[in-house]
């Protein structure tokens, strides 16, 4: 098969390929349908909280206080870098002619000059979140791969920062959370190290290229009933 034209894939999208339940059919459909499919929207409040977490951390450095105490697992950090925009944070993979783009949540500089790339997750760290590890591992390693060629070399560590809202009754009754204009919500943070291994990205790019070059929709995930339901629906309405 000859390779199609150059394709652009974000680190987040490419990371889907790394999931054990990855469905080539879903991936192909999402690439071919330029508009957003139903049930693809993501509540904006989570992005707002992630952005707030970032501001909380950066404000410590800006005030000369160094990293927050709960960052202790990330090594000796001396400063942060404003995360690069995806329009600048990109590389072309020569083997697949894929333009790989990314937009890391946070970048910190260690005392030895190396970089730590992090991703904020507003969520409890539950066993389900553990199932998503391959997704986040691929996303962060794609950032590391791009970073090595786009001004963040060397990258020495990757991490997920889970910020979990404190919602128990005792905290809700504390005077400090009650304000004249509303109330405050507190968060606890958990840091999960992610293995630095940018070598995992090349096979993902090859798979993505292979699927995108298919002329017709590939088979769906084994055992997934939803495509069967769609077929039933189309038959019912006589399409
Ligand atoms: S098999 Fe399931 S996951 Fe794959 S395209 Fe169909 S509905 Fe989506």
Per-residue pLDDT tens digits for 79-104: 999 999 999 999 999 999 999 999 99
Give Cβ neighbours of residue 75 (< 8 Å, ≥ 6 apart): 110, 111, 116, 156, 157
| pLDDT of 228 | 78
**Distance from the CA of 221 to the center of ligand 1, in angstroms?**
6
Name the CATH architecture for the domain at 7-236. Answer: Alpha-Beta Complex (3.90)
Terminal Cα distance for the chain, rounded: 32
Instruction: With beta carbons less than 8 A apart as the criterion, state whether 123 and 143 touch.
Output: no
Q: The pTM is what?
A: 0.90
Q: Among the atoms of ligand 1, which is closest to the Cα of residue 226?
A: 7
Q: Among the atoms of ligand 1, which is closest to the Cα of residue 219?
A: 1
| pLDDT of 63 | 97
pLDDT below 50 — which residues of the chain? none
């Amino acid at each position: 098969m000859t390779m199609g034209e150059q394709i652009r894939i974000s680190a987040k999208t490419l990371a889907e390929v790394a999931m054990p339940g990855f469905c080539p059919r879903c991936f192909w459909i999402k690439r071919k349908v330029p508009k957003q499919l139903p049930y693809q929207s993501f509540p904006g409040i989570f992005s707002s909280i992630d952005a707030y977490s970032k501001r909380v951390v950066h404000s410590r450095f800006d005030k000369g206080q160094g990293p927050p105490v709960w960052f202790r697992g990330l090594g000796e950090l001396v400063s942060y870098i404003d995360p690069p925009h995806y329009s600048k944070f990109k590389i072309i993979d020569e083997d697949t002619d894929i333009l790989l783009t990314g937009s890391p949540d946070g970048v910190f500089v260690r005392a030895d000059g190396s970089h730590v790339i992090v991703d904020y997750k507003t969520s409890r760290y539950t066993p389900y979140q553990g199932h998503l590890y391959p997704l986040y591992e691929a996303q962060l390693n794609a950032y590391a791969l791009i970073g090595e060629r786009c001004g963040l070399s060397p990258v020495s560590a990757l991490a997920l920062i889970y910020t979990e809202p404190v919602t128990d009754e005792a905290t809700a009754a504390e005077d400090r959370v009650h304000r004249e204009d509303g109330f405050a919500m507190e968060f606890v943070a958990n840091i999960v190290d992610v293995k630095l291994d940018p070598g995992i990205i090349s096979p993902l790019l090859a798979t993505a290229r292979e699927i995108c070059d298919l002329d017709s929709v590939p088979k769906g995930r084994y055992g997934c009933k939803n495509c069967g339901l769609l077929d039933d629906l189309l038959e019912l309405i006589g399409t």
